[in-house]
A and B are shown apart, each in its own frame.
Chain A
Amino acid sequence: MVKKEVIEELKRIVGDNDVLTSKEALRAYSYDGTTNWIKEPDVVVFPKDSQQISEILKIANKEKIPVTPRGGGTNVSGGSVPWFGGIVLCTTKMNRILKIDKENLTCTVEAGVVLQDLNNALAKEGLFFPPDPQSFLGATIGGIVAENAGGPACVKYGVTKQYVLGLEVVLPTGEIVNLGGRTLKNVAGYDLIHLFISSEGTLGVISKAELKVNPIPPSKKTIIALYDDVAMAGETVYRVLENGVIPGKIELLDNWVINRIEEMMPLGLPKDAEAMLLFECDGIEEAVQKETEKVVEISKKYGAKDVRVAKDADEANRYWTARRAGFAAVFGKAKTVLSEDVTVPRGKIPDLIRRSQEIAKKYGLELVILGHAGDGNLHPSFLTDVENKEHYEKATKAMEEIIYAAVDLGGVLSGEHGIGLEKQKFFSRVTDPKVVNLMKNIKALLDPNGIMNPGKIWE
Chain B
Amino acid sequence: MEKHVIEKIEKIVGKENVLKSYEERKCYSFDARAQGAIPDLVVFPLSSFHVSEVLRIANEYKFPVVPRGQGSGVTGGAVPTSGGVVMVFTKMNRIKEIDKENLIAIVEPGVITYDLQEEVKKYGLFYPPDPASHRYSTIGGNVAECAGGPNSLKYGVTRDYVLGLEVVLPTGEIMRTGVRTMKGVVGYDLTRLFVGSEGTLCVITEITLKLIPLPESKATILAFFREVEDAAVCVSKIIAERIVPAVMEFMDKASIICIERANPIGVPENTGALLLIEVDGDRASVRSQVEKIVSVLKEKGVSEFRVTYDPIEAENLWLARRTLSQATYNLNPIKIAEDVVVPRSKIPVLIRKLEELSGRLGIPILSFGHAGDGNFHVSIMIKDEPQDFKKAEEAVREIFRETLRLKGTISGEHGIGILKADYIDMELSQEALSVMAKIKKLFDPNNILNPGKIFPKHILSG
Contacts and interface: CB of A to CB of B under 8 A. Distances in A.
Interface of A: 101-106, 126, 147-148, 150, 154-155, 158-159, 161-162, 171, 175-179, 181-192, 194-195, 197-199, 203, 215-218, 238, 241-246, 283-287, 289-290, 343-348, 372, 375-377, 410-419, 427, 431-432, 434-436, 438-439, 441-443, 445-446, 457
B242 interface: yes
Interface in B140-160: 145-146, 148, 152-153, 156-157, 159-160
A414 B186 contact: yes
A178 to B, nearest CB: 6
Interface stretch (B51-59, B208-216, B264-272, B299-307): B208-216
Interface stretch (B41-49, B86-94, B428-436): B428-436
Given A287-B284, A346-B102, 17 more contacts: A103-B236, A103-B345, A150-B183, A171-B435, A181-B408, A183-B409, A184-B152, A188-B428, A189-B433, A191-B159, A194-B193, A218-B242, A244-B213, A343-B182, A345-B99, A376-B182, A443-B188
Contacts of A290: 282, 284-285
A242 B213 CA distance: 7
Contact of B193 (A103, A190, A415): A190
B169 to A, nearest CB: 8
A102 B160 contact: no
Contacts of B183: 150, 154, 159, 343, 372, 375-377, 412, 415-416
B416 interface: yes
Interface in B207-252: 212-214, 216, 236, 239-240, 242-244
B373 A185 contact: yes
Contacts, number: 266
Interface string B373-393: 111000000000000000000
B104 interface: yes
Contacts of B442: 441-442, 445
Contacts of A445: 435, 438-439, 442
Contacts of A104: 343-345, 374
B214 A244 contact: yes
A435 B177 contact: yes
Interface of B: 99-104, 124, 145-146, 148, 152-153, 156-157, 159-160, 169, 173, 175-177, 179-190, 192-193, 195-197, 201, 212-214, 216, 236, 239-240, 242-244, 281-282, 284-285, 287-289, 341-345, 373-375, 407-416, 424, 427-429, 431-433, 435-436, 438-440, 442-443, 454
A183 B242 contact: no
Contact of A377 (B182, B190, B240): B182
A61 to B, nearest CB: 15
22 contacts: A182-B407, A184-B156, A184-B375, A185-B152, A187-B196, A188-B411, A188-B427, A192-B193, A199-B188, A242-B101, A287-B284, A343-B179, A345-B99, A345-B181, A346-B101, A347-B101, A376-B182, A412-B186, A415-B181, A432-B176, A439-B187, A442-B442
A241 B103 CA distance: 9
A206 to B, nearest CB: 14
B340 to A, nearest CB: 9
* Most B C-beta atoms less than 10 A away, residue of A103, A185, A195, A439: A185
A412 B185 CA distance: 8
Nearest to A106: B343
A246 B429 contact: no
Given A183-B373, A185-B409, A189-B432, A241 B186 contact: no
B186 A161 contact: no
A416 B185 contact: yes
B344 A177 contact: no
